[in-house]
Amino acid sequence: MYKRILLKLSGEVLSGEDKKGFDEKALEYLAEEIKSVVKHGINLGMVIGAGNLFRGRELEGVTNSIGDHIGMLGTVINALYLKDYFEKKGIKTVVVSQIVNLPSVRTIHYDDIELYFNAGYVVIFAGGTSNPFFTTDTAAALRAVEMKADVLIKATKVDGIYDKDPKKYQDAKKYDKITYDEAINLGLKIMDTEAFSICKRYKMPIIVLNFFERNSLLNSILDSKIGTFVKP
């Protein structure tokens, strides 16, 4: 069983697939999945994307760097929305970030992160890497290493990594285990190359799983045989 995990969720987890904004059913599902993990006393850090609100590259006519700043602020909006929702469902949650100065957001400080975990809080890392031209996958890799996670769990809509897109090819083969280099070379856009590289450099294992299969998150933490395991 893993004791400390970093969970990377894309913004779409809050809105439902190909939708924008927030969806009550999606939030409820997410809160239930998180609650089941917290009940086991697992230290849970989360990085949330902003695909349900803004992605820099999708903002037509907006300068790249500014678009990305808007995207990063979107992750803060999501984090605060989630914090409020989680707290109402009885999940103690703290939002940390380096990009905003708000009374509801705490500055990232390593010593404090330990205190939050020891006190049973879920820690949401908002604001991506704090830099434009990156994505929240890379932020997840950085935060996983920083918080000394046992594993980075990348929540997706597919139940693991395949040799080709399983939505397009019926004969696609799923990997139970794969190396970082193999995952990068497949070029399937499961995660950014930057994120894989950071995990490879610091030997941070990754589990790619289907978040929408009930209990897959908890089962992967308890048993680790769910999805695809990316390792050195």
Taking CA atoms, 223 is separated from 110, 119, 125, 212, 213, in Å, by: 28, 25, 26, 18, 15
Task: Work out whether 68 is an interface residue with ligand UDP (CB under 6 A).
Answer: yes
Taking CA atoms, 116 is separated from 87, 111, 128, 171, 218, in Å, by: 14, 9, 20, 45, 21
Query: Can you tell me which of 6, 10, 80, 149 binds ligand UDP, judged by CB under 6 A?
Result: 10
Taking CA atoms, 21 is separated from 78, 130, 157, 196, 204, in Å, by: 9, 22, 18, 29, 32
Closer to ligand UDP by CB, 97 or 129: give it: 129
Q: How far is the CB of 12 from ligand UDP (least distance, A)?
A: 6
Closer to ligand UDP by CB, 15 or 220: give it: 15
Binding mask 74-103 for ligand UDP (x = CB under 6 A): xx----------------------------
What is the maximum alpha-carbon separation in the chain?
52
Task: Work out whether 51 is an interface residue with ligand UDP (CB under 6 A).
Answer: yes
- Phi/psi for 86 (5° steps) reads -60, -45
Closer to ligand UDP by CB, 44 or 79: give it: 79
Interacting residues of 229 by C-beta distance below 8 A, sequence separation 6+: 176, 177, 178, 205, 206, 207
Q: How far is the CB of 65 from ligand UDP (least distance, A)?
A: 8
Closer to ligand UDP by CB, 171 or 191: give it: 191
Task: Work out whether 156 is an interface residue with ligand UDP (CB under 6 A).
Answer: no
Neighbours of 121 (CB within 10 A): 19
Query: Can you tell me which of 93, 129, 216, 220 binds ligand UDP, judged by CB under 6 A?
Result: 129
Task: Work out whether 27 is an interface residue with ligand UDP (CB under 6 A).
Answer: no
Residue reference for tokens 């935060």: 143
Closer to ligand UDP by CB, 93 or 136: give it: 136
Query: Can you tell me which of 6, 7, 30, 50 binds ligand UDP, judged by CB under 6 A?
Result: 50
**Cα–Cα distance between 125 and 95 in angstroms, integer?**
6
Task: Work out whether 139 is an interface residue with ligand UDP (CB under 6 A).
Answer: yes
Task: Work out whether 125 is an interface residue with ligand UDP (CB under 6 A).
Answer: no
**Cα–Cα distance between 116 and 139 in angstroms, integer?**
19
Tokens in use for 108? Answer: 């990232």
- Interacting residues toward ligand UDP by CB under 6 A: 10-11, 49-51, 55-57, 67-68, 71-72, 74-75, 128-129, 131-132, 134-136, 138-139
